[in-house]
Structure 1
Amino acid sequence: MAVTSRYRNAWEGFWREAPPEPGAVFWDAGPELTAAVHLPLFEPHLTDPGLPLVDLGCGNGTQTRFLADRFAGPVLGVDLSAAAVAHARAQGGPGPAAFRELDAVDTAAVAALHAELGDANVYMRGVLHQTDPDDRAPLAATIATLVGRRGRAFVVEPGEAAGRELGALAQGPDGPPPPLLPVLRHGIAPAAVADAAVPEYFGAAGLDVLASGDAPLATTAYTTNGSRIELPSLWLVTGRRA
C-alpha cells in the first residue's frame, strides 16, 4: 500500500515552492513554541529515552534538529516528500539529525525501517489530519510498528475547533494569512478529523493511550491585530503498556 499519487504530488509541489528560510511555512513555528512545549508531556512516559527517535512527517526538519540535540539515541526525520527532505538536509548542515524519504503507509518500507532501527520513540505533529481518510488507520499501524514493545509515540493534532478556525481565516474579509495561502493552493488544507476518532485509530492499531490533553498548536501566521495564530489541538502519548 502507498499514498495516492495525488497526495504525493500535492506535497511535492508544496515543498518545491516553499521558501528556504525558517518560519516561512504555516506550521514551521520555532521549536521553543512546539517541540519544547511537547517534550515535558512526552518524556515522563518514555520507557527508554535512549531508543532511536523518528520524527514522522518532519517537513523541513525544524523540530527534528531540536530533538536531535536533546536525545542520546539517533534521531531520524522522515517525510513523504523528497523536496521536504532536501529542505531539511540543506537547512540542517552537519549535525546529529538524519533525514530520508518514507511513505508512512508503505507497510514494507515501514517494516524495513523498524528492522533497521529496532523499537523507536516517535514524534508526530499534525500529520494524521492531513492524511487521506483511507490512510489514517494505516498511519496509526505504522506508529505501532515503529514503537514495537518498548517505544512510545507523541502525537499532536489540530482539534475539530481548529478546522472551523481555519475555515474562518480562509474566508475572512482580509483573505487567508499569507503563510496559509500555499497550503490551500496545493489542496493540502487540513481535513476534519473528529477529536474522538484520534485515540480510536491508535487503539485499533493495538496501542494504548497512556496520556492525553489539550494544548495550542502554534503557527507562523498572525491575525491583522498582530497576534500569533494558535490552533486548538489535542495530544496523546501512545504505546504498549508493559
Structure 2
Amino acid sequence: MDVPIAANVLGTLGAVCWSVQLIPQIVINYRRHDTEGLQASMMLLWAAAGVPLGVYNIVEELNIALRIQAQILTVLSLVTWAQCLYYGQKYSITKCVAAVTLLMCLFGGIEVALIFALRASKNQELRWPLILMAVLSASLLAAGVLTHYWDIYVHRTVRGISFIFVGIDAAGDLFSLISVDAVIYIGISNGIGIRGRGEKSDATEILSHIHSIQLTW
C-alpha cells in the first residue's frame, strides 16, 4: 500500500520545521551581537551532518522537502557557525565569509561525489554504503548536541540558545515521528511488517530515527 497522504504531509511539516529551526537562533545572535554559550563546534558538526543526510535523501529519491532540508541544514548551520566566529572569537567579516564559502564548496563537492558513488553501489544492490550515510549523519548530529550538553554541565545553566529554535526543533521531531508511526502502522495492519518490505527497509528504518536523535529540550 502507498504511504498515506497524511503521513506525507506530516513528514513534510517535520522537514520544514528542521529547515527553518536555526533562523530564530541566527536572528537572536544578530540582535544580541553575542553568541556566548552557543557552541561553534555544534554548528560545525551539524553542518557536516547535512552532507551524508543529503546524500542519503537524494540517492534514495525521497520527497523533495527532505532533499532540500538537508542542504538548508548545512547552510544555516554554517551561517550560525560564522556568527560564533564573528561575535565570539572576533574574526573579521572577510575571514568569516571566506571560511563559510570554503566549507560550502568542500561539503558540496563531497556530497556530489558521494551521490555518484552511492548511486553506483545502489545499482549493484549494495545497501551498506547508504546505511553508513544514515548512521554518520545521526552520529554527527548527536555529537553536536553533546557539545552543548557538556557546556550545560560545566556552567550549570543553559546559555545562548533560542528557545524558539528549540520549540521548532521539537515540533519537527514530533511531526516526523507521527509520520513514521503512521507508515509502520499501515505496514503492520496490511500484514506486511517492516522486515517484509525487502532490503530497502533496513536503511529506511535507520533514516526514520536520524532526526529523533536531535535535542528536544
TM over 0.5: no
Give the TM-score, by structure 1 length: 0.29
TM-score of the superposition, structure 2-length normalised? 0.32
Q: Max radius of gyration: which structure?
A: 2
Point out the structure with the larger strand share.
1
